Amino acid sequence: MTEETTPDPTAPDTIVLVHGLWMTPRSWRGWKEHFEAEGFTVLTPAYPGFEIEVEALREQPELIADLTVPATVDHLAAQIEALPKPPIIMGHSFGGTLTQLLLARGLGASGVVVDSAPTEGVRMTPLSQAKSLFPALKNPANLHRAVAFTPEEFHYAFANTLSREDSDAVWSEFAIPAPGNWIWAYGLIANFKPGHQETWVDYTKDRAPLLFIGGEKDHIMPPSVNKSNAKHYAKSPAVTEYVEFPGRSHWICAEPGWEEVADHALEWALAHARPAVVASA
């Protein structure tokens, strides 16, 4: 006889997946279907201006060139605040930075950041990261443009564990330009300007539990960047953990074996989620 269990009304039932730069919500296609098959509601909100398809954004990159980080965080926060219960928030690459900013606002039951871009104050800049970002940083005029990777640049920065042929196929289906001012402001300038910038968080405050996932072979956001970012939260009373997957590139959320990463992220997020406050009848 099978014993029936009653669902926990305080457990999160929604997952919000935040995409990174050079990508759109299309990049979460596998994770969205995977988590929906587990019974979750899965939201993949686009940044403002990123709602149109990949092909259209390539033709009109000016649509996203002037987007700002505060406007993007406000846009994502509004969608999360409208949910009946705090969701699990997961972000990849710059979506990891945005996830940290959202958790810093008190949002989310738990968070997972995968190959995250750093928040302000993380000063680790490995050579592979500098090489990956050089196409955007080599020309100051890119501050006012949306900047795309060539297939060769994408292979080095994003999908170095794939064959060049497979990487080119990924580039064709998923890659778009990214706002150059974000890369300059948060990849190069933020740590050298006085005062707090737009990607700063108070690393000492309490917030929802947060897991950092790093990919061993990631060139653009290497493990050292993610480990340094996680260590910044050492004085916070909130749970912060780091785990690394061997042999994974920045394309960790879709390269072969991605299901193992997704399952680990969900299992950790559910195990550490803060219970929602449920109104009594």
Model confidence at 224: pLDDT above 90: yes
Q: Which residue stretches of 138-257 are H helix?
A: 151-157, 164-174, 180-184, 223-231
- Per residue in 189-212, pLDDT (tens digit) is 667 777 788 899 999 999 999 999
Model confidence at 92: pLDDT above 90: yes
- Per residue in 246-281, pLDDT (tens digit) is 999 999 999 999 999 999 999 999 999 998 876 665
Q: What is the pLDDT of residue 124?
A: 82
Domains of the chain: 14-272 (3.40.50.1820)
Check residues 98 and 276 and name the one with the higher pLDDT.
98
Model confidence at 42: pLDDT above 90: yes
Torsion of CA 87, 92, 97, 99, to 10 degrees: 0
- Render 243-266 in DSSP notation, one character per residue: EEETT--TTTTTSTTHHHHHHHHH
Q: What is the pLDDT of residue 189?
A: 67
Q: 137-143 long-range contacts, Cβ below 8 Å, gap at least 24?
A: 137/183, 137/184, 137/187, 137/188, 140/184, 142/180, 142/183, 142/184, 143/180, 143/181, 143/184
Give 31's pLDDT tier (boundaries 50, 70, 90): very high
- Angle between helix 258-272 and helix 29-36 axes, rounded to 10 deg: 50
Can you give the pTM of this predicted structure?
0.94
Model confidence at 214: pLDDT above 70: yes
